[in-house]
Structure 1
Amino acid sequence: MVPIPKSSLSLLLLLGLSSAQVVVSQQSCRFEGDVQFCENSDGQFVAVSTRASSTTAAAALTTSSVASPVSITAAPVTSAAASSTVGVEITALTGCHMHDNVQYCTPAPSGTEIAVATQTSSRESLPTTYSDCHNHDGEFYCVNEDGEDVAIHALDEDSHLEEEHDEHEGHGHEEEGEESHEGHDHEEEAEAQNCHFHAGVEHCTGGTAAQQEATCERPDREYNLNIRIGSLFIVLTTSSFAVFGPLVLRKIAKGISTTGIRFTIIKQFGTGVIIATAFVHLLTHANLLFASECMGELEYEGTVMAIAMAGAFLAFLIEYFGGRYVMHRRGQRESAASSLREESEIKHQSSDPEITHAREGQGHGHVHCIDPTDDNLSVWVMEAGIIFHSILIGITTVVSGDSGFWRLLVVIVFHQMFEGLALGSRIAALTSVSSLSKLLMAGAFACITPLGMGIGIGVLQQFNGSDKATLIVLGTLNSLSAGILMWVGFVEMWAGDWIHGYLKRAGVALTTVAMTSLLCGMILMGVLGKWA
């Protein structure tokens, strides 16, 4: 065996160490204390060496090769902060993205992802890139998109950087690379969002949706115009079927009683629908609209309930003064009719004395038969409250995005069917209203939601459900309609049938059926409130 000179052996060792350092430098490495960890081919960090052993080995090799012209350079640590201290200048931060409420960016031209900023509010907008990075007396700054200097504290100290990076790895980077994080973790965040439309405004709950950047600008959505035009006729058909159904049933089965079991089922189901519509649908919509971040902070927290109370009071005023006016007009007509009758009798008596004598001593008392005017007024008020919010339903259904349009349309169809049954059963029960008036009342309900949908189609490219003025108008009308339907539902329908009406002394069978129908109306309409 040929002996190898000591100087040649040292040179070979130096070349081997340099090659090893080149391999290490191409990997993602970092120090934890005195231990250096590098990322292997599986994306896991493994211990490679310690600072002490590396220094000792380098010193020994240098001592044994004094004559060698080769010098040993410490392998650079590829963490962003360490890179800045050993000669790799960071010029920008790119690839910025959110993980929970922490923003992470990748230093350029090279480096490992670092935590840059924390989002303090869901409305706060963080830059997607930072440029012109520079050092000021040991503190690192980069320029954001607005041209302002932003302190990047993660680049100030090595230990702080490593702590932030390790914490970030604990959220999903231990077994996945940067590419996997962006492709997988963000998909999970998107899947965790539960977004749906209330009154045409998209609301997201659950997951990280509350941390999404809030914007009051008009959203850029896809709208299929043909589908929306077709849905208009679907709603028109179902609304007509529901509201005209009770009228047709009453007309065909002329002997059917409005207090019978069949009509009671429809009426009490409708009562439950109206109560649930007021509380679950309209008040929920109004609260969500007034609670929108685009509305700003309300100085009066009871705005929704105050407007609803005003709606109930308005319904009361209409019924009270309307009833008095009708009674006054009826009294005038009866007084005029009585005067004419007396004049006719006087003339008749003067021409026929025998008849006059025969009628002496007869009583002149008479019984006033009061028409059910109060029922007429209550149905008119009920229809007014329904029409107010039905036109809003039509507008806001159409302006909802294609992503949730079909589900919303199905819910609205059932919503209109239930309300149509509720209104139709009350219209059919009216006894002092002509058939033409009943048809006009039912037709108004059948057409009002499609009319709203037509308006929505017309403003499809301009409507912004997050605009402050729009939120105020929609919230106010929803609250007002809720108050009107509360009055009609509680006073005229619920109490009118159960406390003051025929169900007060109904038998066990009829009472059970009526109560079950009432609860079914509340429950079914309440369930629909999850989506509309």
Structure 2
Amino acid sequence: MASTSKMVSTVIIFMAFLCTKALSQCEEETNNPCNNKSKALPLKIIGIAAILITSIIGVCLPLITRSIPALSPDRNLFVIVKAFASGIILATGFMHVLPDSFDMLRSPCLSDNPWHKFPFTGFLAMLSAIFTLMVDSMATSMYTTKNNAISAEGGESTTGDHEMAVAGGGGTHLHGHHHRPKGPIGAQLLRYRVVAMVMELGIVVHSIVIGLGVGASNDVCTIKPLVAALCFHQMFEGMGLGGCILQAEYKPLKKALMVFFFSMTTPFGIALGIGLAKTYKENSPSALITVGLLNASSAGLLIYMALVDLLAADFMGPKLQGSIKLQLKSFAAVLLGAGGMSVMAKWA
């Protein structure tokens, strides 16, 4: 996995420098009356603090509310809240990340050949979704092989019973996990862990890219509304990720690390943008290509995870299939989450 990540990063950086010829007006600063570096810096610092706090609140909310009986995983309310969070993740991919990538890779600052002659955004998003499917599938296969080997050797006899309980799906899959016997983890639980890790990766990449753009900008007219929109964006996106971390049942240290990385990525991106403000130009060919390709990869990953591992897994599970009323409530929650996040696309 590490070597694959390095290879993908190398390819993206290499492609970013394939096209360095751009129109001269794309390299030059425009005479924008809103450009004010001295006024923009305090706004960015305030933005770092505000986004950090809202990110922590959003991702920790599902983990904290676990102790509330009404929000326990075996209750209907948990299923509805999870559907709402899944809608947010889906809209993030479709309405925020994917359009940004299209805009960047279709920019007039890039040469016609090859960037305007081939839909790189759609192509890379498709490859990213296929790669995510491959990770999902291979992780499940590894579990199955290991479990079959243990069964053949007369391993844990209780594992199969636990597997049936975990694979029951819906809201009951987390009940009794603290009494899980030692041995290989259930396929469903392993799947939740893969979902949480891969989703965090996609969100982290997107968050750094967003923060970099804010930190490098000196436009005080856009920074104010953008920071406000990002606070809401990070809070709701954090709720979706927090729900996945909760289902993955990681140990406290791993939960803390995942919360830390999610909460710090956007503020880190802003700080990095501030440091690179003199050299980083949002409309330079290298920046447009690199960020555009990263956004396309992140979009494919988030869309796949939201549709396949979150929404389809729940709506086709026994809990929702057993109640039309609960399905309708969950559909309404998905639309509400996706709709709210779509409205935010106007600002962030």
Instruction: Give the TM-score of the pair, scaled to structure 1.
Output: 0.52
CA contact (8 A) 1:278 1:481 kept: yes
Tell me which residue corresponds to 2:55.
Answer: 239
Q: Which residue is 2:83 aligned to? A: 268
Aligned to 1:290: 105
Shift, 1:481, TM fit: 0.4
C-alpha distance after superposition, 1:272-313 (max 9, x if no partner): 111111111111101110111111214333211001001101
Identical pairs, percent: 28
Map of 1:119-518 to 2, 5 A cutoff?
A: 215-219=25-29, 221-223=35-37, 224-250=40-66, 252-253=67-68, 256-299=71-114, 300-332=117-149, 338=155, 367=160, 369-370=162-163, 371=186, 372-400=189-217, 401-431=219-249, 433-508=250-325, 510-518=326-334
In 2, the alpha carbon distance for the partners of 1:365 and 1:303 equals 49
Q: Label 1:332 to 1:516 Cα distance change in 2 as closer, same or farther (>3 A).
A: same
**Aligned-partner Cα distance in 2 for 1:414–1:307:** 28
Q: Report the CA distance between 1:507 and its aligned residue.
A: 4.7
Given that 1:391 and 1:451 are in contact with CA atoms closer than 8 Å, whether structure 2 keeps it comes out as yes
Match of 1:152 in 2: none
Q: Distance in 2 between matches of 1:437 and 1:292?
A: 40
Shift of the 260–367 alpha-carbon distance from structure 1 to 2, 3 Å rule, reads closer
Structure 2 contact 100–292 (Cα < 8 Å) conserved: yes
How much does 1:375 deviate?
1.6
Of Structure 1 and Structure 2, the greater strand share is in: 1
Give the CA deviation at 1:265: 3.0
The residue type equivalent to 2:90 in the other structure is I
Paired with 2:308 and 2:278, the residues of 1 have a C-alpha distance of 42
Amino acid at match of 1:453: I
CA pair 337-262 structure 1, distance change in 2 beyond 3 A: same
Letter in 2 for 1:236: L
Aligned residue for 2:283, secondary structure, equals: coil
| Within-5 A mapping of 1:37-56 | none
Segments of structure 2 that go 5 or more residues without pairing to the other structure are 1-22, 164-185
Please state how far the C-alpha of 1:218 moved relative to its aligned partner.
4.3
Choose which of 322, 330, 336 in structure 2 pairs with 1:520: 336
1:522, distance to aligned residue in structure 2 (A): 0.9
1:464 partner SS: coil
Equivalent-residue separation in structure 2 for 1:229 and 1:246 (angstroms): 28
Partners of 1:230 and 1:267 lie apart in 2 by 31
Q: Distance in 2 between matches of 1:424 and 1:332?
A: 34
Please report how far the alpha carbon of residue 227 of structure 1 lies from its aligned counterpart in structure 2 after TM superposition. 2.0
Q: Supply the AA of the counterpart residue of 2:60.
A: F
Q: RMSD of aligned C-alpha atoms?
A: 2.4
Q: Which runs of 5+ in 1 are unaligned?
A: 1-212, 342-363
How far the C-alpha of 1:233 sits from its partner, in A, is 1.1
> What is the identity, as a one-letter code, of the residue corresponding to 1:217?
E
* Contact 1:378-1:488 within 8 A present in 2 as well: yes
1:243 aligned partner, one-letter code: V
Contact 1:218 1:466 in 2 (8 A): no
Question: What letter is aligned with 1:422?
Answer: G
Distance, in Å, in 2 between the alignment partners of 1:298 and 1:462 is 26
Shift of 1:369: 3.5
Q: How big is the shift at 1:315? A: 0.7
Distance 1:519 1:530 in 2: 18
CA contact (8 A) 1:266 1:422 kept: no
Alpha-carbon distance between aligned partners in 1 of 2:300 and 2:233, rounded to the nearest angstrom: 19
Cα distance in 1, alignment partners of residues 109 and 318 from structure 2: 47
What displacement does 1:328 show? 3.3
Structure 2 counterpart of 1:458, which letter? G
Give the drift of 1:324. 2.0
Residues 20-99 of structure 1 correspond to what in structure 2 (within 5 A)? none
Task: Give the conservation status (yes or no) of the 8 Å contact 1:408–1:531.
Answer: yes
In the comparison of the two structures, how many residue pairs are matched? 293
1:310 maps to a residue whose letter is L
- 8 Å Cα contact 1:218/1:464 also seen in 2: no
Instruction: Tell me the SS of whatever aligns to 2:320.
Output: helix
Q: Secondary structure at the match of 2:109?
A: helix
**2:190 touches 2:248 (CA, 8 Å); kept in 1?**
no
Amino acid of the structure 2 residue aligned with 1:377 = V
Q: Can you list the C-alpha shifts for 1:132-177, whole angstroms capped at 9, x where unaligned?
A: xxxxxxxxxxxxxxxxxxxxxxxxxxxxxxxxxxxxxxxxxxxxxx
Distance (Å, rounded) in 1 between the aligned partners of 2:153 and 2:228: 55
